[in-house]
Amino acid sequence: MKDLSGWGRYPRLSGPLGAAFDTDAAAEATARLPGLVARGFGRAYGDAAVGRDNTLDATALDRMLAFDPETGILTAEAGVSLADIISVFLPRGFFPRAVPGTRFVSVGGMIASDVHGKNQHVDGTFGDHVEWLMLALPDERVVRCSRDENADLFAATIGGMGLTGTILSAAFRLKRVETGWIRQTTRVAGNLSEAVRLLNRTDTASYTVAWIDVLARGPSLGRSLILEGEHATPEQVESDALFPTPRTGRIGVPTDMPGWMLNAWSVRAFNEVYYRTGARKADCVTIVPWDSFFFPLDGVAHWNRIYGRRGFVQHQCVIPPAKAEAVLAEVLDRISEKGVGSFLAVLKRLAPASGLMSFPMEGLTLALDMPFSEKLLPLLSEIDALVVEAGGRMYLAKDATQSAETFAAGYPHLDRFRRLRGDLGVTGRMASKLSERLGL
Ligand SMILES: Cc1cc2nc3c(=O)[nH]c(=O)nc-3n(C[C@H](O)[C@H](O)[C@H](O)COP(=O)(O)OP(=O)(O)OC[C@H]3O[C@@H](n4cnc5c(N)ncnc54)[C@H](O)[C@@H]3O)c2cc1C
Element of type H or E holding 166? strand 166-176
**112 near 160, Cβ under 8 Å?**
yes
Point out the ligand 1 atom lying closest to the alpha carbon of residue 168. 41
Which pLDDT band, with edges at 50, 70 and 90, does 4 fall under? very high
Q: Is 164 in the pocket of ligand 1 (CB under 6 A)?
A: no
Q: Is 167 in the pocket of ligand 1 (CB under 6 A)?
A: yes
Q: Is 120 in the pocket of ligand 1 (CB under 6 A)?
A: no
Using the mean position of ligand 1's atoms as its centre, give its distance from the Cα of residue 248 in Å.
23
The model's pLDDT over 119-161, given as tens digits with 9 standing for 90+, comes to 999 999 999 999 999 999 999 999 999 999 999 999 999 999 9
Which pLDDT band, with edges at 50, 70 and 90, does 7 fall under? very high
DSSP letter (8 states) at residue 17:
E
Q: Is 119 in the pocket of ligand 1 (CB under 6 A)?
A: no
Q: What pLDDT shows up at residue 283?
A: 81
What does the domain layout of the chain look like in residue ranges? 64-177, 181-403
* 167-176, 367-376, 431-440: range with lowest mean pLDDT: 367-376
Using the mean position of ligand 1's atoms as its centre, give its distance from the Cα of residue 394 in Å.
15
Using the mean position of ligand 1's atoms as its centre, give its distance from the Cα of residue 40 in Å.
7
Point out the ligand 1 atom lying closest to the alpha carbon of residue 298. 1
Residues 6 or more apart whose CB falls under 8 angstroms from that of 68 comprise: none
Q: Is 397 in the pocket of ligand 1 (CB under 6 A)?
A: yes
The model's pLDDT over 276-305, given as tens digits with 9 standing for 90+, comes to 777 787 788 999 999 999 998 898 888 888
Pairing verdict, β 54-57 and 17-19: parallel
Q: What pLDDT shows up at residue 262?
A: 63
Residue 362: closest CA among 349, 343, 380: 349
Region label for 283, one of left (φ > 0), alpha (ψ between -120 and 50) or beta (otherwise): left
Using the mean position of ligand 1's atoms as its centre, give its distance from the Cα of residue 6 in Å.
10
In words, the CATH class of domain 181-403 is alpha beta
Q: What pLDDT shows up at residue 338?
A: 81
Which pLDDT band, with edges at 50, 70 and 90, does 259 fall under? low
Q: What pLDDT shows up at residue 255?
A: 72
Q: Whose CA is nearest to atom 34 of ligand 1?
A: 109
**79 near 59, Cβ under 8 Å?**
yes
Q: What pLDDT shows up at residue 34?
A: 97
Q: Does domain 64-177 have CATH number 3.30.465.10?
A: yes
Global confidence as pTM: 0.97
The model's pLDDT over 78-92, given as tens digits with 9 standing for 90+, comes to 999 999 999 999 999
Q: What percent of the chain has pLDDT over 90?
A: 81
